[in-house]
Amino acid sequence: MAVPTFVDRVRLHVVAGRGGNGVASVHREKFKPLGGPDGGNGGPGGSIILRVDPDVTTLIDYHHQARRVAPHGGHGAGAHRNGGHGEDLVLPVPDGTVVTDEDGEVLADLVGPGTEMTIAEGGRGGLGNAALASAKRKAPGFALLGEPGEELVIHLELKVVADIGLVGFPSAGKSSLIAALSRARPKIADYPFTTLVPNLGVVKAGDTTFTVADVPGLIEGASEGRGLGHDFLRHVERCAALVHVVDLATLEPGRNPAEDLDVIERELERYGGLADRPRLVALNKIDVPDGRDMADIVRAEVAERGWPVFDVSAASHEGLRQLSFAMAEVVAARRAAEPREESTRIVIRPRSTSAAVEFTVKETGEGWRVRGEKPERWIRQTDFSNDEAVGFLADRLERLGVEKRLVELGANEGDPVLIGQPDNAVVFDFRPGIDAGAQMLGRRGEDQRFSESRVARQRRRAIDALMEGRAEGEERADVARRYDQEHGLAHLDFDDEHDGQDGDDRDDWQ
């Protein structure tokens, strides 16, 4: 099977690097067995970046290797050591590459050397327990996992960036013209469809330097898939002007130069989007016998269209100077009309997102489905083998308002709640933490609804209430002993020395 040398359309699967996991670690040294949390954070994964490289002219590298994966971030370690960053993967693409997703939506139009865009963002690194510590959570026994990097399938399509596009029938002499006008050396032969890929040449006329490209294989029906024009017509979309190369020495019966011009114009019209481009006409091969006579016959008919006409010969170079200066004049006028750009431009159409709504809750046949950037990201970060990490996740969801929203929509205790992508969701049994309008508070990873009542706190509050009606000369200790005897707590030895002090919230007993 023949190996292609020019590829202008590929399907590429890109996977950004995963973020490294945070670590749960406690500082230990001699005489300091519990020195506090010192777990480091995981490093972010590498992103995948598309960058325009002027030395790249084809997408053939991605034709042979259609899957690209960026490096992962390093895991955190103890002693506050963070994981290393995953290195970004830069993919060079030709100038004029259009990036689309699977649905055909244009994500970027990369024009200009150095233009780049991040097509897949690397995953965030997970926080270590040192970063999760707070005044209320002094020694977390868990850390967050790193997030997976973005993964998507994109389509790269090359549209050659050229100032002048040469169009015409096969063997009209387009490649010969480029070879005569510039230093480009395309393949030239005396049979149709010699050129199978667009050729580019750089031409200088006076103070103007511009590029010229030819579109191979244009015949009648090219816009519908005949010949090669269906594949390569898009390469003239960016051209400032089109030059019709008319063959004055065709040997095919039933063809004449004027009709060739009409056929090509119909194909351009059917393709669409090129009606505003200026046209020039090059009557090629005037050096052959009867070539000049044919040019005299055709020139008057072509001139009626209002297009400049030039008699040229790619073989003898006759008329090429006049043609090149005419093309330079059109290019200079086009450049003067366009706003001058100070820096390389990049056109990006980001994915549509709704920043105002942090999450949505919808009832489905499987249960209550919760979707949103934050809930789904928190799910990916949670180590479900750690009860404390699961409790931390529950607190985050409750603060975000997920639990309240489920109650408002009529979710009952025990209903399944699904968070995440439909094909990879995490399922919970709904256990509301809101009871009579009061939030249940407790340590991370624990649910006080399933714990025994806190006896010492209830006792202290009851004693505070009895102190208002105490007898004369009765001290707090006397009121406490009376309360214990009445409620059967006399067998317990409470620490009454600190009981009742402001701010004391201990509920331990000896």
Residues contributing to the annotated binding site for GTP: 168-175, 193-197, 214-217, 284-287, 313-315
* Distances, alpha carbon 24 to alpha carbons 125, 142, 265, 309, 380, in Å: 14, 5, 70, 78, 17
**Cβ atoms within 10 Å, residue 405:** 15
Yes or no: say if 432 and 413 are a contact pair by the CB < 8 Å rule. Answer: yes
Residues facing residue 282 across a β-bridge: 245, 310
Residue 45, number of CB atoms within 10 A of its CB: 31
For 238, list phi and psi in degrees, rounded to 5.
Answer: -90, -5
* Cβ atoms 245, 174 nearer than 8 A: yes
The 48-52 sheet, strands edge to edge: 89-93, 48-52, 116-120
Largest CA distance in the chain: 136
Q: Which helix (H) or strand (E) holds 481?
A: helix 476-486
CB 281 within 8 A of CB 248: no
Q: Which residues are annotated as a binding site for Mg(2+)?
A: 175, 195
Q: Which residues lie closer than 8 Å to 81 by C-beta, 6 or more apart?
A: 40
Closest by CA to 199, choosing from 226, 219, 181, is 181
3-class SS at 49?
A: strand
CA–CA distances in Å: residue 122 to residues 30, 48, 251, 383: 40, 8, 60, 20
Nearest to 466 by CA among 456, 455, 452, 480: 480
* Per-residue H/E/C for 339-403: CCCCCCCEEECCCCCCCCCCCEEEECCCCEEEECHHHHHHHHHCCCCCHHHHHHHHHHHHHHCHH
Q: How far apart are the first and last CA of the chain?
A: 86
Q: Which residue blocks in 182-256 are alpha helix, DSSP H?
A: 229-232
Which residues are documented as binding site? 168-175, 193-197, 214-217, 284-287, 313-315
